[in-house]
Structure 1
């Protein structure tokens, strides 16, 4: 097959996936939590097929899980916008992994879910670890997606400087305004990690991160919530320890490339090897050909994540019925 034919086949697969994503029914719901109402995107599933509670990253929103949810057709997927992000922007109060864990439990209670598989991307992995460590009876499995394994930051280092260095444009957007949605989409199209990320589901994910009116649209992420979570994620010993103290089955998926598509990902191979996770019952799984974002927002990455999540759901159903 020549290059042109391969590209046409690839484009066809992408278009088919986008059409499938557009067909899966969903609903948006508000869940009462301390400080307000948490917005939750729910993709209903078949009775008895299990539930996944999906937790997004530090400057993201619940629609980051759209492509994974599409691959999990039949499984109920609950994807909240964490407090201070997306449609949960106005939930009042501080933002920490422990408070996110409380919010996640409230989501399960609202939908009457006794036990769920937790999936956490990036910072969502840290929140998921804390939630699973605190409430093991509510979670039957944990899939960490390029997150959950900590990097302590010394007290003297400025958190904003760390955030700008690590997440780059995702931090810069908090200080910017955009004339319209197209301008915001163009901002992300220039992001090196988004070069191959496109389609209506990615556009909807970006639109969910906008607030205000044209010509002064802004990111819906509250800067103070980002900073509070970063302080907790990067400096709280209890948060670092959570991934090493899990009592529910867990696994870590780690992307080949980084947050700005650097050749070495957030977790370098030597970091994974030195983490000790495999010996603690949290096997790491390398996902080649993906970066930190495409691991959930890209079709190929979403298929890998969904396969691991479906495996965790199946194992939980087999054990607990």
Structure 2
């Protein structure tokens, strides 16, 4: 995208914010809550966006803002989170994969640009491998590639070590919504980047009544999904992709620490096939702001637009299986 095109796009974004629709899609055990930001043109491409392990579909709202009605964005609350929080197990990445196939089928989407952030990227990669006919392109955002984890920890300790406050809050209650807002505003990743998009995203997570508000995330769903990311079938999906993908990685981590989940050395050690995955660093972003911060969301939106229109999205971009 040229600078002139970017300038035009920014002007369009300021003038056009697509209205969000709330849908309910039948899946095993109930209905999945799905947010949809429709394109101006009903025939425009569709992007299916999968959120992180303790997030919800509104983590993609700022990306939708930058898309500005040029493509439709569909973002479910995954099983065990948000307004899909009461959907029953069994949980796991494979369950999300089948839920995404149901979303595509129920909404009559046929094929989509598939993207995922963090755990959602692992789910997107496995969906691409399991259902290659569902997607025209794949964009991974700070996830999908296995990385080293501390040894000697049990599953709950491991998830708490990796996720920090995002995991600890699952056992907490909050007297009101302001208290929950204050909890997140103290998080280093959001300290300098609070916005109405962030606020709407974190408030969607709350369930219950005051003074006992709590996160909607089902702890067992988070536990099972978290451990699934380290299974060979899931972490290895990125090496079996049926078509080329882009990996956008944040230069900073979950707690805004200087080293993110990925860097050049970790990605080199992962042995990615450059014909299957093209890693691109997104400067100035951390694990959260790469999707919910203004600059990160703009870059993700640009790549979704490129993926929706570039040659190869008509089915000629398939890679040979290995």
TM-score, normalisation: structure 1: 0.90
Cα distance in structure 1, aligned partners of 2:292 and 2:15: 15
Task: State the partner residue of 2:38.
Answer: 44
Shift in Å at residue 276 of structure 1?
Answer: 2.6
Shift in Å at residue 41 of structure 1?
Answer: 0.2
Gaps of at least 5 residues in structure 1 are 1-15
Task: State the partner residue of 2:276.
Answer: 281
Shift in Å at residue 239 of structure 1?
Answer: 0.6
- Asked if 1:200 is matched to 2:196, the reply is yes
Task: State the partner residue of 2:27.
Answer: 33
Query: Compared with structure 1, are the counterparts of its residues 110 and 252 closer, same or farther at alpha carbon in structure 2 (3 Å cutoff)?
Result: same
Q: Runs of 4+ in structure 1 displaced over 4 angstroms?
A: 16-21, 152-156
Secondary structure at the counterpart of residue 243 of structure 1: helix
Task: State the partner residue of 1:5.
Answer: none
Secondary structure at the counterpart of residue 254 of structure 2: coil
Shift in Å at residue 198 of structure 1?
Answer: 1.9
- Asked if 1:172 is matched to 2:168, the reply is yes
Shift in Å at residue 196 of structure 1?
Answer: 2.3
- Asked if 1:255 is matched to 2:256, the reply is no
Shift in Å at residue 278 of structure 1?
Answer: 4.7
Cα distance in structure 1, aligned partners of 2:128 and 2:155: 26
Task: State the partner residue of 2:319.
Answer: none
1:14-33 → structure 2 map (5 Å cutoff)? 23-33=17-27
Q: 2:241 aligns with which of 223, 243, 246?
A: 246
Task: State the partner residue of 1:95.
Answer: 91
1:128-277 → structure 2 map (5 Å cutoff)? 128-151=124-147, 157-234=153-230, 236-277=231-272
Could you tell which deviates more after superposition, 206-215 or 152-161?
152-161
- Asked if 1:105 is matched to 2:101, the reply is yes
Cα distance in structure 1, aligned partners of 2:229 and 2:264: 21
Counterpart contact for 2:13–2:66, Cα < 8 Å: no
Which digits, 9 at most, give the CA deviation of each residue in 1:73-108, with x for residues without a partner? Answer: 221111000000000000011211111010001111
Q: 1:61 aligns with which of 56, 59, 66?
A: 56
Counterpart contact for 2:136–2:313, Cα < 8 Å: no
Shift in Å at residue 279 of structure 1?
Answer: 2.5
Task: State the partner residue of 2:287.
Answer: 292
Which digits, 9 at most, give the CA deviation of each residue in 1:23-81, with x for residues without a partner? Answer: 32121011110111100000111233200000000000000000111111221111000
Normalized per residue, the structure richer in helix is 1
Cα distance in structure 2, aligned partners of 1:114 and 1:189: 40
Which digits, 9 at most, give the CA deviation of each residue in 1:191-242, with x for residues without a partner? Answer: 00011222222111011100001111000001000001011112x1111110
Which digits, 9 at most, give the CA deviation of each residue in 1:165-200, with x for residues without a partner? Answer: 111000111111111111101000000001122222
Query: Compared with structure 1, are the counterparts of its residues 212 and 305 closer, same or farther at alpha carbon in structure 2 (3 Å cutoff)?
Result: same
TM-score, normalisation: structure 2: 0.90
Secondary structure at the counterpart of residue 26 of structure 2: strand
